[in-house]
Amino acid sequence: MIFNLQDLKPVDRQHYLQHVIAPRPICFASTIDKEGAVNLSPFSFFNLFSANPPVVIFSPARRVRDNTTKHTLQNVLEVPEVVINIVTYDIVQQTSLSSCEYAKGVDEFEKAGFTKEAATTIRPPMVKESKAKLECKVLEVKSLGEEGGAGQLVICEVLVLHIDDSLLNEEKKIDQTKVDLVARLGGDWYSRVTSENLFQVPKPNTKLGIGIDALPEGIRNSKILTGNHLGMLGNVHDVPVIEPSFDDEHLKNIIQYYSLNPADMEKELHAYAARLLDSGKISEAW
């Protein structure tokens, strides 16, 4: 189906967009109003937009239901400071609880059972239980409209980053396999980033990959190799030259066994290459 966004009701726009623009990281925002009352709420319309200057943006939208604004938005307009606490699996249920529409002045730290920890440069408190927290100054609030559902972009400069030691390796860099992040998708769906579902894609060849269009036709049109396989093969800088010393028993067997049947030989060779690529052995697959 093709959906023209103009023809969709706001609630349906939200449905379709949130299910495919996913998973989204969660900004668990701690703010205060001008009287100093604390508010804590999660926002998944959130991301990193610049490293230098360090800028993140999140969006407490106007409610689709009744076009009211969120306390978080009201607070950052009064006191332009926010702690963004990063949400990991161990705090996801409490985070969700804090998103209830408690009355203004109700402290969601207490409602959701979190501990306040003083930030070092700004007034809103941090969530002690969060393993990564960003102390931010609000640079600008950019309204995207006055209607229900309209995003209100809170553009923040990150001043200080707190990272729990348990996430760091010996070089004091973050070990991605240890972070156990959660992210929001459509409806009630969340995803959890565990070491089992992480994988790496090496950065594209800086010397320029040859490209899929430069692969030999038989490989490019293979019925066995997938787009992912072709992407790996096309990332080499030059079509590799097979070394005369290259020795592979399985390859020899395929060539011997299918010597009278070139079509089946090609299928077997491609299936073997696919298995090698799936285990990251790109030069062997070539």
Ligand X SMILES: Cc1cc2nc3c(=O)[nH]c(=O)nc-3n(C[C@H](O)[C@H](O)[C@H](O)COP(=O)(O)O)c2cc1C
Q: Which residues bind ligand X (CB under 6 A)?
A: 26, 39, 41-45, 59-61, 70-72, 96, 99, 101, 184
**Cβ 280 to ligand X, closest distance in Å?**
34
Distance of alpha carbon 152 from alpha carbon 150, whole angstroms: 7
Pick 86 or 273: Cβ nearer ligand X: 86
- Closest approach, Cβ 151 to ligand X, in A, equals 8
For ligand X, the closer CB: 133 or 229: 133
Rounded distance, CA 263 to CA 73, Å?
Answer: 65
Q: Which two tokens stand for residue 186?
A: 């459509």
- For residue 39, count CB atoms less than 10 angstroms from its CB and return exposed for 0-12, middle for 13-18, buried for 19 or more: buried
Please report how close the Cβ of residue 3 comes to ligand X at its closest, in angstroms: 21
SS3 207: coil
Nearest approach in angstroms of CB 98 to ligand X is: 7
What gap in Å lies between CA 16 and CA 3, rounded to an integer? 9
Buried b (16+ CB within 10 A) or exposed e, 159-170: eeebebeebeee
CB of 11 to ligand X, least distance (A): 14
Of 26 and 84, which has the nearer Cβ to ligand X?
26
81-86 and 27-32 strand pairing: antiparallel
Q: How far is the CB of 76 from ligand X (least distance, A)?
A: 10
**Residue recorded with tokens 């804090």:** 98
Identify the H or E element spanning 27.
strand 27-32
Q: Which residue stretches of 147-225 are H helix?
A: 217-220
Taking the complex as a whole, how short is the minimal distance between the CB of residue 274 and ligand X, in angstroms? Answer: 38
In the chain, the amino acid numbered 18 is Q
Q: Which is nearer to ligand X, 81 or 268 (CB)?
A: 81
Q: What is the DSSP string of 69-134?
A: PPHHHHHHHHS-EEEEEEPBGGGHHHHHHTTS-PPTT--HHHHTTPPEE--SSSSSPEETT-SEEE
Nearest to ligand X of 32, 232 (CB atom): 32
Q: Which is nearer to ligand X, 45 or 272 (CB)?
A: 45
The nearer residue to ligand X, 96 or 191, going by C-beta atoms, is 96
